[in-house]
Amino acid sequence: MSSTHLSTTAFNSLALAEPLLKGLNDAGFTYCTPIQAQTLPISLLGKDVAGQAQTGTGKTIAFLLATYETMLFEEPADNPHGIRALIIAPTRELALQIYNDALIIGKYTDVRLGLAYGGTDYEKQRKILEDGVDILIGTPGRIIDFFNQKVFNLRTTDVLVLDEADRMFDLGFIKDIRFLLRRLPAPPDRLNLLFSATLSFKVTELAYEHMNNPEIIRVEPDQVTAKKVEEFIYYPADSEKIPLLVMLLNQQLPERGIIFINTKQTADRLNRYLEGNGFNSAVLSGDVPQKKRQKILQQFQDGELPLLIATDVAARGN
């Protein structure tokens, strides 16, 4: 993380538990980002927070630290199959990212983590949850699936986290979210943390309905897109779209680029055109098996795959 994106607030000034500070130190985190610096002093006191900040500004670490701190210093209820913290994400990839970050931050704790997301590892996920976990991280559909089978319960949950809440609405998960929230203890009886790239009216309404008088924190509220992003818009006819895209790719020669498409059929067609024009690309759509999805994303992150063609449905967490 570039130092230009950090605040002057050091993590060791926040009275965090020693195991958490050791995990942060191992990860090379010394100073908070602005969203962390502004939300942690509130959430670490057990007060609810609804935070807005751009993607990639450290929201995940902000809510993980508050969640772990609660786990370490509150006695668990006598509920062997109870989840102590529930972290809900809109997509499988985000759930995995949160889980991996949680492993790093909680490296020196004995807090048990569980994952619940669609596409793969159904029995493996179920077995881990049946054995008992403290923090469950997952997507709405799979969480509800296991909940309805009574694999775990939410009666004594101490912490609720909604990550990328605006995407929950975009992807049509709001009914599932409300289903889960109504099965948790009352808002005053738990710590509630909501983070989003935008705090729209719908997201704010959800916060005030299901949280306990949350403190609203906005970091750069008028800067929705990254400062260094240039935006262009074109209005080609349908028959001109692919030739225009090929021309732009030849001009820009991006080291890594993502192309969003509405349907799988169009994505597959575009992939054939790009490969025919000498571009190395892959399609990420809803029916791609999870292991293949993860392999494609890893290749993209490692720079081995320069172009990723993705549908909105591909990001849904079932």
Let me know if residue 16 belongs to a domain: yes
Let me know if residue 233 belongs to a domain: no
pLDDT tens-digit series, residues 260-309 = 888 888 889 999 999 999 999 998 877 777 778 888 888 888 888 999 99
Let me know if residue 223 belongs to a domain: no
Residues 44 and 125 in one domain: yes
**CATH code where residue 276 lies:** 3.40.50.300
Residues 180 and 259 in one domain: no
Residues 177 and 295 in one domain: no
Half-sphere CA count of 124, side-chain side, radius 13 A:
6
Q: Whole-angstrom Cα distance, residue 142 to residue 43?
A: 28
Q: Which domain holds residue 295?
A: 238-315
Residues 57 and 198 in one domain: yes
First to last CA, the chain: 31
User: What phi and psi, each to the nearest 5 degrees, are found at residue 6?
Assistant: -105, 160
**Of 218, 249, 279, which closes a domain?**
218
Residues 59 and 204 in one domain: yes
C-alpha closest to that of 232 among 244, 215, 216? 244
The confidence band for 2, taking pLDDT boundaries of 50, 70 and 90, is very low
154, amino acid identity: L
Residues 171 and 276 in one domain: no
Domain count, the chain: 2
Residues 149 and 36 in one domain: yes
pLDDT tens-digit series, residues 115-128 = 999 878 899 999 99
Let me know if residue 119 belongs to a domain: yes
Let me know if residue 265 belongs to a domain: yes
Let me know if residue 298 belongs to a domain: yes
- Range in 71-80, 181-190, 271-280 the model is least confident about: 71-80
Q: Give residue 301's pLDDT.
A: 81
Residues 152 and 251 in one domain: no
Q: What percent of the chain has pLDDT over 70?
A: 93
- What does the chain look like in DSSP terms, one character per residue? --GGG--S-BGGGTT--HHHHHHHHHTT--B--HHHHHHHHHHTTT--EEEE--TTSSHHHHHHHHHHHHHHHSPPPS-TTB-SEEEE-SSHHHHHHHHHHHHHHTTTS---EEEE-TTS-HHHHHHHHHH--SEEEE-HHHHHHHHHTTSSB-TT--EEEEESHHHHHHTT-HHHHHHHHTTSPPGGGSEEEEEES---HHHHHHHHHHSSSPEEEESSTT--S-TT---------GGGHHHHHHHHHHHH--SSEEEEES-HHHHHHHHHHHHHTT--EEEE-TTS-HHHHHHHHHHHHTTS--EEEEEGGGG---
Residues 44 and 186 in one domain: yes
Q: Please, which residues bridge with residue 6 across strands?
A: none
Residues 154 and 51 in one domain: yes
Q: Give residue 227's pLDDT.
A: 59
C-alpha closest to that of 131 among 108, 154, 112, 118? 112
Average pLDDT, the chain: 89
Let me know if residue 227 belongs to a domain: no
Let me know if residue 307 belongs to a domain: yes
User: What phi and psi, each to the nearest 5 degrees, are found at residue 17?
Assistant: -60, 145
> Does 222 score more than 60 pLDDT?
no
Residues 214 and 253 in one domain: no
Distance of CA 278 to the CA centre of its chain: 34
Residues 214 and 248 in one domain: no
